[in-house]
Amino acid sequence: MNLWKVSLAACAVLVLGSYTAFGQSVFTLGFSGLDSFSGGAGDPFASDYNLTLQQENGTDNQDGQDDEGAQGWSVSLTADNASINSIDFDSSEAAALFAGGFKKSELTTKGTGDCAGLNGAVSAVVLSFTQAVTLGLNATKSIAIIGVGGTLPAGGGTATLRYVENCQGAGQPVQNNVTERGASVTPVKSNKEIRLSVQASCCNAQGNVGFSSSKISSATPYDGILDDGSGNCSAFNGTISADAAPGATGTTHAYANISSNAAGEGVQGWSFSIALSGDAISFGDGGVTVEGTPGVDNNYSGGFKKTEIVDPAKNNNVRGAVSAVVLSFTENRVLPPTGTETVLDLNVKSTDPLGNDPVGGGLAFFSGLRGAGQPVQNALTIGGNTADACNFQTAAVKILFSPVTTTDKSFLRGNANNDAKVNIADPIWIINELFRSGPSSGCAEASNANGDGVIDGADAVYLIDYEFRSGSPPPAPFPACDTAPSEKCAETQDVCP
């Protein structure tokens, strides 16, 4: 006998016996899984989805039998604008309850009505032929897992997972039914809509913005800008991470950058309006500044620059900063037409000393914040005309401070190469490590020659100034070794006791 032809209700009656009438439960078939996919047109998407069976209004007849709830079921389903590529019962929650019954799940080979195509799946299960086993009274369980996939359509759209009648595998057309106490119950069928969003790529755009964890001056567009890795140059969902000891306040820098991808004209000026979110972070003591950024320092000549932290009371309680720069009013000063330049330094700290859990917030380009003047719009100036960065609407970054156990490590600040001396070799070591894939010093604090908490090209310049231009010496520990309440030194430097 082909078990696909046997009514699940009949199976349950034959095996478990017949019962007196009872209040009928409401069963709902549904799906659980991702609500959306996004990417470029034609990009593939794929994920697993649970088929779920929910019982409501079930009543316990208190006869000592564990027979309230679903004893078995059959399901028939299809997908619109997506493919069902697999179906598996054994990985579902219901599989743990299976006790010598019947189970069969397969993709469709034919069907009728709503399931006339081949893009479907069927599954039939009786949990046990010898025991009173059910999914449980008023329970919701996954009863199978399907693999769903497809490609993102141009312009986006919606994929839908649906329970429909008469999908057919190797046996007869399958109906959606549930068996409880030997009786067949028609379930409510719930669809699952999946949004398919297409993000236009900004990678070839003339202008982009974004955040980085270090200062950038690169001839490569979008170089060093953090994002989600989708390949669309959205500058969205990157993370700047920093450590601090429990009980200490964490500090870090986020750098705002302009990425240019033009054959002739570079960016002459810009205005930025950037919102700061998250109660766990605020702007640090260093505030927000364009000073020390390569994009401004290397190209500014007699123009205009103003940067300030905004008053939340004037901005509907939104915190943030605004910055406006014109590189020159008298000369043709522009950012390099092709490349990436840091133009704003945002110092960020944790609001309170860290506890035992990470804390964080974020920064995002958010037009309309008001400083001392009028509301500031995010804009670039190219060739005397106002232009939008392609990714102004998505450019954002998360700031995360994580507590670390402090371990005192002895080191000498400025001794980046760990050779017991602070000399010309140390700034060269720092430059090689940062920009030429050179070896790590093993002690980040030793390379942090100026003591600002950030290891960048400024540390190499600081050492050059100290050694050859009568600049200030590195801050302590210098000129003698001392300990650092940080794990940034993996071990005590060789020169130190």
User: Are 109 and 78 within one domain?
Assistant: yes
In a domain, 363, yes or no: yes
User: Are 417 and 301 within one domain?
Assistant: no
User: Are 59 and 176 within one domain?
Assistant: yes
User: Are 256 and 281 within one domain?
Assistant: yes
Which parts of the chain register pLDDT below 70?
A: 1-24, 60-67, 263, 405-408, 484-488, 490-491, 495, 497
Helix segments in 273-353, DSSP class H: 294-297
Residues 393 and 367: beta-carbon distance below 8 Å: no
pLDDT, tens digit (0-9, with 9 covering 90-100), for 86-140:
999 999 999 999 999 999 999 987 777 778 777 899 999 999 999 889 998 888 9
User: Are 62 and 99 within one domain?
Assistant: yes
Residue 12 confidence (pLDDT): 39
CATH number for 27: 2.60.40.680
Q: How far apart are CA 451 and CA 442, in angstroms?
A: 17
| Domain final residue, candidates 403, 424, 457 | 403
Residue 442 confidence (pLDDT): 76
Residue 250 confidence (pLDDT): 87
User: Are 414 and 395 within one domain?
Assistant: no
What is the residue-wise DSSP string for 299-337?
Answer: T--S-EEEEEEPPGGGTTT-EEEEEEEES-SSS-----S
Q: Is 235 helix (H, G, I), strand (E, B) or coil?
A: coil
Mean pLDDT of the chain: 87
Q: How far apart are CA 245 and CA 408, in angstroms?
A: 11
| Domain final residue, candidates 175, 198, 221 | 198
User: Are 187 and 222 within one domain?
Assistant: no
User: Are 292 and 342 within one domain?
Assistant: yes
Q: Is 270 helix (H, G, I), strand (E, B) or coil?
A: strand
User: Are 20 and 39 within one domain?
Assistant: yes
User: Are 192 and 249 within one domain?
Assistant: no
In a domain, 468, yes or no: yes
Residue 193 confidence (pLDDT): 95
Residue 487 confidence (pLDDT): 52
CATH number for 467: 1.10.1330.10
Residue 347 DSSP label: E
User: Are 309 and 456 within one domain?
Assistant: no
What total of structural domains would you count in the chain? 3
Residue 436 is part of which domain span? 408-485
In a domain, 495, yes or no: no
Residue 496 confidence (pLDDT): 77
Indicate if the alpha-carbon torsion angle 255, 261, 267, 273 is positive or negative.
negative
Other Cβ atoms closer than 10 A to 464: 16
Q: How far apart are CA 102 and CA 100, in angstroms?
A: 7
Residue 407 confidence (pLDDT): 60
User: Are 189 and 324 within one domain?
Assistant: no
Q: How far apart are CA 360 and CA 23, in angstroms?
A: 52
Residue 479 confidence (pLDDT): 86
